[in-house]
Chains A and B, each alone.
Chain A
Amino acid sequence: MSWFGWLRQKTPGLDAAQQQRLAQLPTPCALGDASLRSQRWVVLDLETSGLNLNRDQVLSIGAVVIEDGAVDFSQLFERTLHRADSRLRPSVLIHGLGPSAIAAGSDPVEALLDFMAFVGDSPLLAFHAPFDQHMLGRALKDSLGYRLAHPFLDVAEIAPLLCPDTPLREAGLDDWIHHFGLHVGERHHASADALATAELMLILFSRARRQHIDSPKALQERLGQWRRRKHAPSF
């Protein structure tokens, strides 16, 4: 316990209200045995200043919620984070967030607190989740001194697991969008990618039910088996 206390003391500049909000964040739940449909999921996408896991920063967060088996448009999350030292770098071409948009963004502390309140105790889904998990975890640690412990499932793994007949290898989000013929609008923002990922997940949940994968826990276990099988030949 004192360890955490020590960590928390190192967190910079949280005022009393922010400290209180931080303390009130719910602890995440492990994936359970209830039905897939009854599980609330948060589908996440981040824009970052680059792909360097140790140096680059989260610039914006987009997230949508899948609840009761549907994407709920009344629960959308979208924040651009204010980064004082943002310089123009080649990745601006990818995420499209210019220095002015970032300068006009929200205070990262507030934005991250808002986001974690939005997530609540729900598990997270993302395409290439380990990247988002790492970047979000580091941002939370740096800004809030918070340790991210929510379960993360990777849509880039769930898709080939549930669609074994699909001849896609190492496919990106665009490949899957194309494969399922999803009509997605212009995707210039993390939230649009999050929505596209969520639509993909709705299809995948439907496939999961047809394959008798009925609970979040079962899905997690099947993912584990799949991952082991995939790595087996290399041993």
Chain B
Amino acid sequence: MQHDNDKNIAVTVMSKADAFTQAGKTAVLQNIHGTLQFLQRFPPFNQMENAHLAFLVEQCQLRFYGPGDSILKPSGGPVDHFYIVKQGRVVGERPDSTETTFEITTGECFPLAALLGERATRTEHKAAEDTFCLQLNKPAFIKLFALSSPFRDFALRGVSSLLDQVNQQVQQKAVETLGTQYSLNTRLGELAMRHPVMCSPQTPLREAVTQMHEQQVGSIVIVDDQQAPLGIFTLRDLRQVVADGTGDFSQAIVGHMTQAPFFLTPDHSAFDAAIAMTERHIAHVCLVKDQRLCGVVSERDLFSLQRVDLVHLARTIRNAPRVDHLVAMRGEIGQLVERMLAHGASSTQITHIITLLNDHTLCRVIELSLAEKGDPGVPFSWLCFGSEGRREQTLYTDQDNGILFEARDAAEAAELRGRLLPLAQQINQSLALCGFSLCKGNVMAGNPELCLSRAEWARRFAAFIREATPENLLGSSIYFDLRVVWGDEQGCEQLRQSILDQVADNRLFQRMLAENALRQRPPVGRFRDFVLTRNGAEKATLDLKVQGLTPFVDGARLLALANGIHANNTLERLRQLVIKAVIEPLDGAAYEEAYHFIQQTRMQQHQLQSRENQPYSNRVDPDSLNHLDRRILRESLRQAQRLQTSLTLRYQL
């Protein structure tokens, strides 16, 4: 009897399969149609063929679960249904705790991993409120899996495929606006299409230049017998030879080349090359594989396609003759960021580049100020704190900086400070002109309290750790992300080491920092979608920076300081925490992805605001995001919540 029943079901499935091949001919039932339309609002259903989707709906059952009803549980044996939430909310609870691990709402599906793994679910799925689910039996799921590739991709990759979709969307937009597939993630091997132009060290200069001219290239690489690069000769070097006037073009090129040229492998990305060029002020990067030259990538190769001339911009900044030139260039940085975002650059890449260009601007401002006011004759290091210290700046940033110098005693320190302060104040003002707004809290080098000798800084930092007042805790969250932008780095490293030693020893301070890190709660409720603040008549919004990024930044800082990690950058801190086994690799990866996504959303928002001439703001209305972004944002904020929960446990708060 049971057997017959099974056969019946199989037959029904078959006949339905045949039926939907002719689905176009017969009218679709109203209720099937209505459910189809509902599903088509959500991925992956919005990418599936109508016939496949109709098949899915016809095989579905609609079930209701009251609040607290268990839908699936670990003791229930291998899962034999696929669920789509039609309405309501499903939450996941691990057997060992009542902590909500995930939340599934309208249009979302579960439990993919258990279904594909033919096992029971590891998490109990409960209805959090009145909930309707469409339930698809396993034979139909398998059939659909075989028929529909969007469905298969989705099932196999779960939420990570959603992230891929976002990236694809971004890239696609870039392709639409700029008509090219080019991206900063392109392998260099793919960019350097041409055979490299090269010659031996003994080649006469004239012959080498002729070769460059014939091949229409700006550089020639000098290689040994094994084709390993020995040096590079570029048009710039040629200019030098001509300008010197001593040039004898029958001389061997070896005497005029730049030795030991910088190289990368063909597997490095265009981004890597752009960064190398910007940092090193070079216009050509050799590609070397197995110690043999296999290509050359020029600045033009990198940027001609997207007309984003990062290297040129960096060089112009470093050579700017006056501060007002730097001011004019800030606008170009904005355009650069815009284009990079359009090209699908990630938020990490963009913050990295902004930091790099800001560092160049800062160094140039210091150089120009020294030239103008005269060198005070005191070696000093320019420190920056906060987001600048963490290399996480966006375009809109204010100054957080200070000066570090060496002094024998208090008297000498006071004397040196007196000589440095006028210069520091001038630098602060010039930076303000360049778009780094003056710090409202006066965290600036021109403030006598922030122009200190190493001993004074050390005393100040020790006090932060010893006396955990609210002001000191706030101070530590700014100052402990310190970094040298200009000048000697050694003094700063000594300060950092002593901070790390003291924090590692001071469990109480760690606990206070942990409490501090919990102040900003990510705006997702345990049983709600987003928890938003409403300000008068304004729309309910959430603050991407304070409520989204700060929990990661604070959490990573605390764990890094407590575990002797020198890195400042939040993502770098997370990576090192994974290496030191302080956090699980899976958690680290999830935090990184989440942080990244929130930052990306924030930057896109800033770009949009600047395009529309609106004041820039970190507040976003989740309803203004598309469905996919909204959902990922919610999951990302939930990761921030998990990080905070882990701090609560770690420090028993």
Contact = CB atoms under 8 A, between A and B. Distances in A.
Interface of A: 62, 64, 68-74, 76, 78, 180-183, 185-186, 189, 191-192, 194-195, 198-199, 202-203, 205-207, 210
A67 to B, nearest CB: 8
A76 B62 CA distance: 12
B63 A70 contact: yes
Q: Which of B29, B31, B63 has the most CB of A within 10 A?
A: B31
B130 A73 contact: no
B31 A76 contact: yes
Nearest to B12: A74
B62 A202 contact: yes
A206 B57 contact: no
B35 interface: yes
Given A73-B35, A206-B66, A180 B130 contact: yes
A185 B38 contact: yes
Interface string B193-217: 0000000000000000000000000
B53 to A, nearest CB: 12
A203 B16 CA distance: 29
Contacts of A181: 87, 130
A73 B53 CA distance: 13
Contacts of B29: 76, 78, 191
The 9 closest A-B pairs by CB, nearest first: A202-B64, A70-B61, A185-B34, A71-B62, A70-B63, A191-B30, A73-B60, A183-B87, A189-B30
Given A68-B61, A202-B64, A206-B66, A73 B31 contact: yes
Q: Which of A68, A180, A183, A207 has the most CB of B within 10 A?
A: A183
B87 to A, nearest CB: 5
**Contact count band on B:** 20 to 34
27 contacts: A62-B31, A64-B31, A70-B64, A73-B57, A73-B58, A73-B59, A73-B61, A73-B62, A73-B134, A74-B58, A76-B29, A78-B31, A183-B87, A185-B35, A185-B38, A191-B30, A191-B31, A192-B30, A195-B31, A199-B64, A202-B62, A203-B64, A205-B64, A206-B65, A206-B66, A206-B69, A207-B66
Contacts of A185: 34-35, 37-38
Given A185-B38, A206-B66, A78 B61 contact: no
Given A70-B63, A73-B60, A74-B58, A203 B34 contact: no
B11 to A, nearest CB: 12
Contacts of A69: 63
Given A76-B32, A189-B30, A192-B30, 13 more contacts: A70-B62, A71-B62, A72-B61, A73-B35, A73-B59, A73-B60, A73-B61, A78-B30, A78-B31, A191-B31, A192-B31, A194-B31, A199-B64
Interface in B112-152: 130, 132, 134-135
Nearest to A195: B31
Nearest to A62: B30
Contacts of A189: 30
B417 interface: no
B31 to A, nearest CB: 5
A74 B62 contact: no
Nearest to B64: A202
Given A78-B29, A186-B34, A210-B66, A70 B130 contact: no
A212 to B, nearest CB: 15
A203 B69 CA distance: 12
Nearest to A70: B61
B86 interface: yes
Contacts of B132: 199, 202
Interface in B37-67: 37-38, 57-66
Contacts of B31: 62, 64, 73, 76, 78, 191-192, 194-195
A37 B31 CA distance: 23
A71 B62 CA distance: 5
A69 B62 CA distance: 9
A206 B70 CA distance: 13
A70 B38 CA distance: 19
Contacts of A62: 30-31
A69 B130 CA distance: 15
B132 to A, nearest CB: 7
Nearest to A198: B62
A217 B135 CA distance: 28
A113 to B, nearest CB: 19
A203 B61 contact: no
Nearest to A201: B64
B62 A192 contact: no
Contacts of B66: 203, 206-207, 210
Interface in B481-522: none
B86 A183 contact: yes
A58 to B, nearest CB: 17
Contacts of B30: 62, 78, 189, 191-192
Interface in B55-106: 57-66, 69, 86-87, 106
Interface in B1-40: 12, 16, 29-32, 34-35, 37-38
Contacts of B59: 73-74
A183 B87 CA distance: 7
Nearest to B62: A71
Q: Which of B16, B60, B61, B130 has the most CB of A within 10 A?
A: B61
B87 A182 contact: yes
A213 B63 CA distance: 19
A102 to B, nearest CB: 16
Contacts of B61: 68, 70-73
A34 to B, nearest CB: 18
B293 to A, nearest CB: 64
Contacts of A202: 62-64, 132
